[in-house]
Amino acid sequence: MSVPAHSRVTDVVATPVTAPTRARRRSDIEGLRAVAALLIAVYHIWFGTVSGGVDVFLLLTGFLITGSLVRAMERDGRIAFGAFWTKLVKRLFPAGAVVLGAVLAMTYLFFPRSQWTTVIEDVRAAALYYGNWHLALDSVDYMADNAAASPVQHFWSLAVQGQFYLVWPVVITAAGLIAVRLGTRIRRAALVAVGTVFAASLVYSLWITATAPVWAYFDTGARLWEPALGGVLALVVHRVNLPGPVRLVAGWVGLVALVLCGLVIGDALPYPGYASLWPTTAALLIILAGAGTTENGRLSANRLLGLPPLTWLGGHAYTLFLWHWPVLIVYLELTERVRPSLTGGLMVLGASFAAALLTSRLVDGGVARATRRLRAPSWSLAAGVLFVIPVLVAASLWSESIERDRQLRLELSSNPLAYPGATVHLNPEMAAGLPELPIYPDTTTVARDTVDQTRECNALADDTTVVTCAFGDPDSDYTIVMVGSSHVRHWFQAMRTLADQHGWRLVTMTKNACQFSSEEQEYRGLVYTECSDWNEQVMDELAEMAPEAVFTLASLTDREVGEHVPDGFVHQWQRLDLMGIDVIAIRDTPRFDFRVPDCTDRNDRDECSSPQAESMAVEPPFRHLANVPHNTRFLDMTDYLCEDGTCHGVIGNQLVFYDTNHLSYAFSQSLAVVMEPQLLDAVGQAVPTSEPTLFEAAMTLQEGEHS
């Protein structure tokens, strides 16, 4: 069938070959939504694992939206894009915005300052429906591994759905245009288009889950096959009419499999990948079991799903999903538990139900009543957007307030006698008389500020290419290269200060979670092949660069196995010895079982300490180490981090760690003063006589203050 040359997307005319099919209302679909929402809540609250419920929601989204869009094309010859999107905004935005606003309020009231900035950024991303990509980027940042769970983390799936809603009308419209051009049925063309998306996304999902599983979890491309599968089902389900016994078995197998999904899969398999075929197949069986007939058998799973209590709950599934996670996170924050008890979990579930019902009644019902007579798409859009704007404004104003406080603390910290950091240990009188001032850096921004200083000069976990950055005097005749993991990287501020002071050239070669070692390493439970490849490239770079020295770790601290020196460390030092390169190996830092900024926000700073023996050896494990080559010199800053066997989270009014085990940028810089004598001795350079060293200047300043 030909189409006039002037035809546009919105001018496609319905013809006999594109006759619409009428959808039968299925109450069991609403019951399936209820089961999915309950599974999500139950598994999150008591098990902390995936449940398969989100996969069901994505499949049902594709099933319902695809059917609706294709029927519109068959009936009207076009899709009213504006009306479609604005109705979604009106339906989704108000409740979501209310929950996000409540999260901001609860964060201010109940959460430590150290989590404020992160929550604000997460809320902003959730409100603008890019939360999945925001979390995906954080997931590949090793420095964010110790971050607390976000109270809006679950909004990632809504972002995936929102992006699907943007793309899908275009896909169906394109299929409709092609169908008219070729003289075939719109449903047939849509099936080809949706099936193609399904196949391409599934193949991509299997690949990305195998290569980057954490990223894949939030990747829209790795999830798109799930609503596409629902779309395929919507386009063929009207032709399915299974025999009664088959429908009975399929329905119960699907329902039981869905309920058991979280127990069987849990966190044992990378997700989504092959594992997500379990819940989607289960939902597919349930939908097929209820297809092609107006009556479900008395003993069928579909009849159970269609009972009024479940269909009623299905009508509130969206708001229950929105509320269960922030209520859970607030409960865990207030009780300082990792997982709720049975009673606590029931309280969380009950509070989530109450909040969901209140939101549905006051927000969704109120908006529907207020806009009942305002049918123009612009009014629907306004009804939704007006809820989101206050959330975004509140987040922006709060961010500005945090930034003002950050600048104030920065000004206060410019006085080295008020904020001495590690140098407080140089003068016992100063340490005894130092007043407690607001902690610097500010706990709300310390993590981001620390990471940002070296973010562009660091290889991520998936990278195999060495990233190098050079600092200091480019014409210096002495070059030091920092090589290793984030526990080498967090010495950067100290090393750069010393390089600038003594005219050295400083080069960085660091990689997330990758030690400078010849041994095979693991990352997040998998063999870390990218680290092995990176290490070999580093050795090639060092051979070509021929620096005077390499700065790296001398030991590894660990709360489970204790502090030790891996054999691979020594082997790398020996290889550098053959290349004529000196090694400056620094002892690793302690590790806490709590986030230090969170602790300082909740408690007195003196309580934020940890026994040295929990992660470090009594004496350096390299002290009596055999086979250490002659090119290797050791540094040990433990006395400035731990005192009398106790490691402190705040020293000299400065925050020592920005998470559980990484130095803050400010404290790292303060360590330059006390590190200087050991480092100068290690590099074998004479102390300059024309001007005092950093160490001498600090001693003179403190002695003058207390003379």
Give DSSP secondary structure letters for 133-176.
HHHHHHHT-GGGTTPPPPTTGGGHHHHHHHHHHHHHHHHHHHHH
Number of domains in the chain: 2
DSSP-derived secondary structure for 313-328: HHHTHHHHHHHHHHHH
Element (H, E) at 416: none
Residue 181 sits in the same domain as residue 98: yes
Determine the residue type at 474. Answer: P
Determine, yes or no, domain membership for 517. yes
Q: Which residues pair with 522 in a beta bridge?
A: 527
Contacts of 449-453 spanning 24+ positions with Cβ under 8 A: 449/665, 450/143, 450/490, 450/658, 450/662, 450/663, 450/664, 450/665, 451/141, 451/143, 453/492, 453/493, 453/665
Phi, psi of 556 (to 5 degrees): -125, 125
Determine, yes or no, domain membership for 648. yes
Sheet of strand 642-643, all strands in order from the earlier edge strand to the far edge: 609-611, 646-648, 642-643
Residue 489 sits in the same domain as residue 434: yes
Determine the residue type at 224. Answer: L
Q: Which two tokens stand for residue 586?
A: 């620094």
CATH number of the domain to which 544 belongs: 3.40.50
Determine, yes or no, domain membership for 13. no
Residue 391 sits in the same domain as residue 429: no
Residue 212 sits in the same domain as residue 285: yes
- CB-based contact 69:346 (threshold 8 Å): no
Determine, yes or no, domain membership for 414. no
In angstroms, how far is CA 388 from the centroid of its own chain?
23
Determine, yes or no, domain membership for 146. yes
Report the half-sphere exposure of 693 (CA within 13 A, side-chain side).
Answer: 18
In angstroms, how far is CA 412 from the centroid of its own chain?
33
Cβ-in-10-Å burial (0-12, 13-18, 19+) of 317 comes to: buried
Examine the fold and report which residue of 395, 415, 445 is the final residue of a domain before the chain moves on: 395
Residue 428 sits in the same domain as residue 372: no
Mean pLDDT in consecutive groups of 10 residues from the start of the chain, 707 residues: 33 35 74 96 92 95 95 90 86 92 97 94 96 86 62 95 96 94 92 97 95 90 97 92 90 96 84 93 95 73 93 94 96 92 95 94 69 61 83 96 92 88 84 87 92 90 92 94 96 96 95 95 89 96 96 96 95 96 97 95 93 94 92 96 94 95 96 93 65 67 56
Contact residues for 488 (Cβ-Cβ < 8 A; gap 6+): 482, 510, 516, 551, 552, 553
Q: Is 476 helix (H, G, I), strand (E, B) or coil?
A: coil
Residue 499 sits in the same domain as residue 598: yes
Residue 370 sits in the same domain as residue 437: no
Residue 595 sits in the same domain as residue 648: yes
Residue 42 sits in the same domain as residue 87: yes
Residue 342 sits in the same domain as residue 467: no
Examine the fold and report which residue of 395, 413, 442 is the final residue of a domain before the chain moves on: 395
Helix, strand, coil content of the chain in percent (nearest 5)? 60, 10, 30
Determine, yes or no, domain membership for 404. no
Residue 180 sits in the same domain as residue 76: yes
pLDDT of residue 19: 39
Determine, yes or no, domain membership for 400. no
Residue 641 sits in the same domain as residue 701: yes
Q: Is 581 helix (H, G, I), strand (E, B) or coil?
A: coil
Pairing of strands 582-586, 469-472: unpaired
Residue 59 to residues 64, 265, 364, 676, Cα–Cα distance (Å): 9, 19, 24, 61
Residue 318 to residues 40, 57, 94, 389, 390, Cα–Cα distance (Å): 11, 10, 12, 21, 21
Q: Which residues pair with 646 in a beta bridge?
A: 611, 643
Enclosing domain of residue 572: 424-681+688-705
Q: Which residues pair with 552 in a beta bridge?
A: 585
d(CA 359, CA 324): 13
Determine, yes or no, domain membership for 417. no
d(CA 182, CA 699): 86
d(CA 538, CA 54): 42
pLDDT of residue 687: 47
